[in-house]
């Protein structure tokens, strides 16, 4: 006489086949409005100007030449900058790490095994 199996089975992550999940989504659109930077120490900003000039007298017929010039703003002391972020959303995507190991599960129901010999003669 022997017994075995079970009528209750709890699966774990290890019993699932090894797998991962792909995902992608987009956040809701939200108006972020204006945002300020942190107060930063005095500094200057560099900018480039592009302007038209002529080496010779221009009689209005065109053919002027263009020149660029890089300069700095005046020193402005400690200050913050404000920028408009406005309404927008963000997309994101990825892949989860692998999970599961494919560990086998014993699915034999509960049983009682009876064996006997019966003699006929």
pLDDT in tens, 21-61: 999 999 999 999 999 988 878 888 899 988 776 655 555 55
The span from the CA of 113 to the CA of 86, in Å, is: 74
Phi, psi of 26 (to 5 degrees): -140, 135
pTM of the model: 0.43
Closest CA to 23 of 100, 99, 95: 95
Classify 14 as helix, strand or coil: helix
- Per-residue tokens: 110: 């509960």
């Amino acid at each position: 006489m022997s017994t075995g199996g079970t009528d209750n089975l709890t699966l774990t992550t290890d019993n699932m086949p090894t797998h991962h999940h792909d995902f992608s989504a987009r956040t809701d659109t939200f108006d972020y409005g204006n945002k300020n930077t942190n107060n930063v120490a005095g500094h200057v900003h560099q900018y480039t100007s592009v302007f038209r000039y002529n080496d010779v007298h221009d009689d209005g017929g065109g053919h002027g030449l263009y020149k660029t010039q890089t300069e700095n703003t005046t020193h402005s002391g400690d200050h913050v900058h404000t920028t408009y972020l406005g309404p927008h959303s963000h997309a994101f995507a990825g892949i989860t790490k692998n999970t599961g190991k494919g560990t086998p599960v014993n699915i034999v129901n509960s049983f009682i095994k009876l064996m006997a010999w019966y003699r006929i003669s």
